[in-house]
Amino acid sequence: MHYAIIADIHANLAALVAVLVDIERQGDVEELWCLGDVVGYGPDPHECIALLSKTNHICVAGNHDLAAIGRLDLSEFNPDAALACRWTAKNLTAADKRYLQSLPRVIEKEDFTLVHGSPREPVWEYLLSVSSARENFGYFKSQFCLIGHSHVPLVFKQSKHGACSFSQFPPNTALELGKERLILNPGAVGQPRDNDPRASYAFYDSDTGLVKLHRVPYDINATQAKMVKSNLPMRLVARLSYGV
């Protein structure tokens, strides 16, 4: 069966639409696995929740999802993120808020654990170093863990002897799921931060055990124009051009 793994949509409807079209091109998908931050930063929080809700999907809560419904203190956010979050909160319907409220922080699905940040701290921890990954392997039971939050596609691997290694997750290269435990980040749909502005997601084929990262161009200008119109911070607008 096929599964698409997406994270950090960040209210970027143009990016989400492009990714969903690309996923459909890859073949029938049983279920979409979403790793949180559906909203925040971008101009289309309601539209992204509405579109995602039409798909067969499961989703965990991200820090921006929780902040938008008042479940996280904005003092933890930088000023641009806090401003965007207050804007997001004003642009959600009651149904959107109910959807965000319904999101669990951890989902266990067959061989996978889904979280936004890390298995140790599902909402807040950025998992970007081998040392923190090594500790985090102790915080989930399944063989694989899927994370978002850093917006950087990457793979942490734990060998049988407990050693931990890190690698980039390059596009169009199939990663074979073997016996080792892995923590995987599929990159961000709506605000990539690995110097590639294209939307990022992963496609998993459970029959072959292969996971492949895909990068998808989308109409960045369309999203930026909406952000400018909504007076969202210019730094957030500009970074989409560069994927930073």
What residues from 167 to 186 belong to the interface with Zn ion (CB under 5 A)? Answer: none
C-alpha distances (whole Å) from 52 to each of 46, 68, 151, 158, 209 are 10, 17, 19, 33, 25
Q: CB 190 → Zn ion: shortest distance, Å?
A: 8
Question: Residue 37 or 194: which CB sits closer to Zn ion?
Answer: 37
Task: Give residue number: closest CB to Zn ion.
Answer: 37
* Residue 203 burial (10 A CB sphere; 0-12, 13-18, 19+): buried
Question: Residue 9 or 164: which CB sits closer to Zn ion?
Answer: 9
Report residue 38 CA to chain centroid gap: 8
Question: Residue 8 or 125: which CB sits closer to Zn ion?
Answer: 8
Query: Contacts with Zn ion: how many residues (CB under 5 A)?
Result: 2
Tokens in use for 22?
Answer: 């690309």
Question: Residue 79 or 178: which CB sits closer to Zn ion?
Answer: 79
Positive/negative CA dihedral, 201, 8, 55, 91: negative
Determine the Cα–Cα distance for residues 98 and 29; give it in Å rounded to an integer. Answer: 26
What residues from 33 to 52 belong to the interface with Zn ion (CB under 5 A)? Answer: 37
What residues from 75 to 134 belong to the interface with Zn ion (CB under 5 A)? Answer: none
Chosen residue from 4, 8, 49, 65 binding Zn ion by CB under 5 A: 8
Half-sphere exposure (CA, 13 Å, Cβ side) for 158?
19
Q: CB 149 → Zn ion: shortest distance, Å?
A: 6
Q: CB 181 → Zn ion: shortest distance, Å?
A: 24
Q: What is the 3-state secondary structure (H, E, C) of 212-229?
A: EEEEECCCHHHHHHHHHH
Q: CB 151 → Zn ion: shortest distance, Å?
A: 6
Question: Residue 81 or 182: which CB sits closer to Zn ion?
Answer: 81
How many residues does the structure list for the chain?
A: 244
Question: Residue 37 or 47: which CB sits closer to Zn ion?
Answer: 37
Confirm or reject binding of residue 65 to Zn ion (CB under 5 A). no
**Binding site residues, Zn ion, CB under 5 A:** 8, 37
